[in-house]
Structure 1
Amino acid sequence: MEDIKHWLEAYPVIVSITKYLVWIILIFLIIAWVRRLLKKRLPDNALRYKSQKGIEIIGYFLVVLITITYFTGNIKDFGLAIGLLTAGITITLQELILSIAGSFYIFLVRVYKPGDRIEINGIKGDVIDIDSIYTTMMEIGQWVSSDNYSGRIVKLSNAFVFKGPVYNYSQDFPFVWDEFNLPIRYGSDIELAKEIVISVAQEKLSDYVTESISKWKDVVDKYYIEDAQVNPSLAITMTDNWVQFNLRYIVDYKKRRYTKHLLNEEIGKRIEQTNGKVTLASATFEIVNIPTVNIKEDKTTES
């Protein structure tokens, strides 16, 4: 024991570092244990996720606090140590610092949350996790058409919330406006065509319209924005080749592709049932005149 005591007195720095490492390991073990406990005890996924992230943030704070206490020797020097530490590592770790700041900003301001569909830094997808450095997304689009998953999981630095716009498809108002064009041939019964398109839109979109009205009222109360038309609307344009119907409607942000399929399918069926009164148009080309080309053969004689 005496030898151990003399050795400890001879190497106080090693002893201090060992104590520091023991405290850090103990904190991480406690965090891991509490996270597992919350995962078992909390039935709600959203509450379990937020609680685990909160414990993780508290753990990081305690690690920073213990580190500063050990290396400054006094908790009163906390502010000074933070200033010196920040000045020393800002240049080399600025991206990491910005990412950590971004994670706090995301949680406090609620820029987005797990389950939201967002587009950031040119990448669109559903948020599946947010940690202290990265936002993890299930990618949408790229080589896959419409709003379908590509199958790639993307990790994006939280620092990007400070570097550009964040498009949120689901926050406050989980609906988007969509539209498509329908070419109707000249000579068709335009009034009948209008009746078909409007009736199909009202039948297929009634649930979305009802839900979106109450949601949009909340948006109007929260933001400085005017009231909007959420009922399906039809605009008609006369072109050189056909009468163009433009149907604009509101839809759940996750069901754009499927809803457009239902509308096109039902409208197509009802147009066929008109027995030629309404006909879809297609691009046609008319050749007015074919120029005559005269070819003269130059014959030369050999002497």
Structure 2
Amino acid sequence: MDIVQALTDWIRREGALGNLIVSLAIVVAIWLVRHLALRTTLRRLDAPARYRWRRASFHLAVSLALVLVALIWLGGYRNVALHLGIVTAGLAIALQELIESFAAWLFIEWRRPFTVGDRIQIGERCGDVIDLTPFQFALAEIGAWIDGDESTGRIIWVPNSMVFTEFLTNYSRPGLQYVWDEVVVHITFDSDWRRARQILEGLLKDLHATLPDTLPDDVERASRRYFGLETETAPAVYTRVDDRGILLSARYLSDLRRRRRSQHILWEGILSAIEREPHITFAYPTRRIYHSPAADETGIPRPPAG
């Protein structure tokens, strides 16, 4: 207590110079504490957890430094409260959008609709979350003019407030990095559809074997957190008919960042297998023209003679 009183008396004697020295000392001390804490903590964490610790400790350090420096320069708790009340009233009107984004950041940190590393779609934009700040987050864009959910190379900065006004889709939740994908094979009515189905089932089985063995356990664990979440992981082939032929829909789980690669492997297997099958033919739009010798130049059949 004597040290605090002595420091207070010294600051009053030195005026602005004393305030400046103490403010710098506070900033340096907080930076050193944060640096030492991170060095002892980050070694035991994975990359996403290290990122979250760095961001959280940075925001905590800045907030603490601002409060302590304000106490030094404004001369105590009462003056700080008075000044903050006046400033807050003005900022609430002038910086409404920033306040909404900051409130959205608190919501994101609390409810975790997504975190850094997740693949999300918000509004019409889709990408991987690579940074999250109190006012905006960054997406490594995918899609747009690129097929197969591949990266475009662009980074999009999105205001946090959009989580309150736009639909948000998270491809990576709940803790899974796999999504259902589907490939549709169209064959003619006179094709051996049973053999085609058998080929697809074999290809899907080989593709499914490349997934990690822990996937069923991960899905089961996620289903206990989210009611009604599908727990089936096995691929399937479904059959239906339309006016062009027989449709065989191959449904399977794919790594969300390798969806295009999975489709590439599956389609090459399908093309190679169908090429060796003489009784299976792909269906595609065609037009057949029948010529009748009994028709005149107008195309209208002439009535038979006699």
TM (norm. structure 1) is 0.79
The aligned residue for residue 282 of structure 1 is 284
Change (3 A) 1:249 1:288: same
Counterpart of 2:160 in structure 1 is 158
1:263 is matched by which residue type in structure 2?
L
The answer to whether structure 1 residue 218 and structure 2 residue 237 are counterparts is: no
Preserved CA contact (<8 Å) 1:209 1:231: no
Higher mean alpha-carbon deviation, 180-189 vs 61-70, is at: 61-70
Instruction: Measure, in 2, the Cα distance between the counterparts of 1:77 and 1:140.
Output: 50
In structure 1, how many angstroms separate the alpha carbons of the residues matched to 2:33 and 2:105?
Answer: 21
Structure 2 stretches lacking a partner, 5+ long: 1-11, 300-306
The correspondence for 1:256, drawn from 259, 281, 287, is 259
SS at structure 2 position matched to 1:90: helix
Relative to structure 1, the CA distance from residue 217 to residue 66 in structure 2 (aligned partners, 3 Å threshold; closer, same or farther) is same
Unpaired runs of 5+ residues, structure 1, are: 1-11, 295-303
Give the Cα–Cα distance (whole angstroms) in 1 for the partners of residues 118 and 220 of structure 2: 20
For 1:69, the equivalent position in structure 2 comes to 71
Deviation digits for residues 73-102 of structure 1, max 9, x if unmatched? 442576665544332211211122222222
How far is 1:144 from its partner? 1.3
Matches within 5 A, 1:185-204: 185-204=188-207
**1:182 lines up with 2:185 in the alignment:** yes
Matched residue type, 1:110: R
Query: Counterpart of 2:125?
Result: 123
2:139 is aligned to: 137
Q: CA–CA distance in 2 between the matches of 1:191 and 1:220?
A: 34
Contact 2:181-2:254 within 8 A present in 1 as well: yes
The aligned residue for residue 245 of structure 1 is 248
Query: Matched residues in 1 for 2:297 and 2:27: separation?
Result: 88
Aligned AA for 2:228? Answer: I
Aligned to 2:93: 91
Task: Give, in angstroms, the shift of residue 201 of structure 1.
Answer: 0.8
- CA distance change for structure 1 residues 24 and 92 in 2, over 3 Å: closer, same or farther? farther
Q: Is the CA contact 1:35–1:55 (under 8 Å) kept in the aligned structure 2? A: yes
| Paired residue secondary structure (1:225) | coil
Report deviation, 1:36: 5.5
Tell me the SS of whatever aligns to 1:114. Answer: coil
CA contact (8 A) 1:175 1:212 kept: no
Q: Which amino acid aligns with 1:115?
A: G
State the Cα RMSD in Å.
3.1
The answer (yes or no) to whether the contact 1:232–1:248 under 8 Å persists in 2 is yes
Q: Check whether the contact 1:169–1:253 (CA below 8 A) recurs between aligned residues.
A: yes
Confirm or deny: 8 A CA contact 2:186 2:245 kept in the other structure: yes
1:218 shift after superposition: 2.2
Please give the alpha-carbon distance, in whole angstroms, between the structure 2 residues aligned to 1:238 and 1:110: 43
Cα distance in 2 for residues equivalent to 1:94 and 1:120: 21
**Equivalent position SS for 2:281:** coil
1:194 is matched by which residue type in structure 2?
R
